[in-house]
Chains A and B, each alone.
Chain A
């Protein structure tokens, strides 16, 4: 047990060294960092209801404001699915996402996929998640956060709670 703990400390410090270097070049993860608070205490009911209809309602802090604006302006072609909302719903959900978007994103990139952000990539490298894991039926895809992060739907991505399924 003790030895495992030590290994974990070393493993978790390794990326820090890399990140410290990144910090000098315009912010953590090249300026593509998720928000310090992933979602506010007071959630928007329309966001919660509509976004969780087909998948978990991804926390607003996972992407920058510009990503949410882009995403919400193309809901009729939402990752090859029509997820269109009425105009008032679109407006309300966009406002909530934009107001609570990542507060640590300094880069100009505005990806539509959370998995394309640098912070996501660096935390889900092949060392942490071997390629074969993504292919498991129990994981299905990288957008299926809750496969390993049981609390994903409530924006709980605590590293200690990660359980990679077989």
Chain B
């Protein structure tokens, strides 16, 4: 019974062509797993083993990893501490915080126009750092505005590390 239920789903997963199909399959599989207590300890173990490594994994942040290594051979990993210093550092009289606020969990305010800016920390705004093109668009603009230059991949990764660390 169990295997008969799981097999067609597996077959479907192999042929899933769209994200939506994939979600449907994933949901169906998790239901199958829930119905099978025998599988649960194994699953729990896998989750427990990978959780510390994947808890803050962010694909957009990961996309900067290879470039950061290329920038510096000494690069090991992104740092939330460095990211926070970067976020608050002023160039002239502006910093990231000038518009995004000292507390990135709260709403920000555009320094020139006064327009409301949704929170930058994913804990308060889950949409943040999920769209690579949007992230790049704003790094290009805002690094140019604040730093008068482009940001390095290391800086971008640190910046995201800091915002992901905000709880």
Residues of B within 8 A of A143 (CB): 113
Total number of A residues with any Cβ neighbor in B under 8 Å: 13
**Least Cβ distance of A119 to chain B in Å?**
22
B115 at the binding interface (Cβ < 8 Å): yes
> How distant is the Cα of A81 from the Cα of B114 in the complex, in angstroms?
14
A124 at the binding interface (Cβ < 8 Å): no
> How distant is the Cα of A83 from the Cα of B114 in the complex, in angstroms?
16
Q: Say whether A81 contacts B140, CB under 8 Å.
A: no
Residues of A within 8 A of B141 (CB): 81-84
**Least Cβ distance of B107 to chain A in Å?**
15
Residues of B within 8 A of A54 (CB): 110, 112-113, 115
Q: Say whether B144 contacts A82, CB under 8 Å.
A: yes
> How distant is the Cα of A55 from the Cα of B37 in the complex, in angstroms?
54
**Least Cβ distance of A133 to chain B in Å?**
16
Q: Say whether A55 contacts B144, CB under 8 Å.
A: no
> How distant is the Cα of A81 from the Cα of B110 in the complex, in angstroms?
12
A140 at the binding interface (Cβ < 8 Å): yes
Q: Say whether B145 contacts A140, CB under 8 Å.
A: no
Residues of B within 8 A of A73 (CB): none
Q: Which chain A residues numbered 84 to 106 have a C-beta less than 8 Å away from chain B?
A: 84-86
**Least Cβ distance of A25 to chain B in Å?**
36
A22 at the binding interface (Cβ < 8 Å): no
**Could you say which of A55, A81, A86, A144 contacts B145, with CB atoms under 8 Å apart?**
A81
B-binding residues in A (CB < 8 A)? 54-55, 76, 79, 81-86, 140, 143-144
What 14 new A-B contacts, CB under 8 Å, besides A79-B112, A84-B140, A143-B113? A54-B113, A54-B115, A55-B113, A55-B115, A81-B112, A81-B145, A82-B141, A82-B144, A84-B137, A84-B141, A85-B137, A86-B137, A140-B114, A144-B113
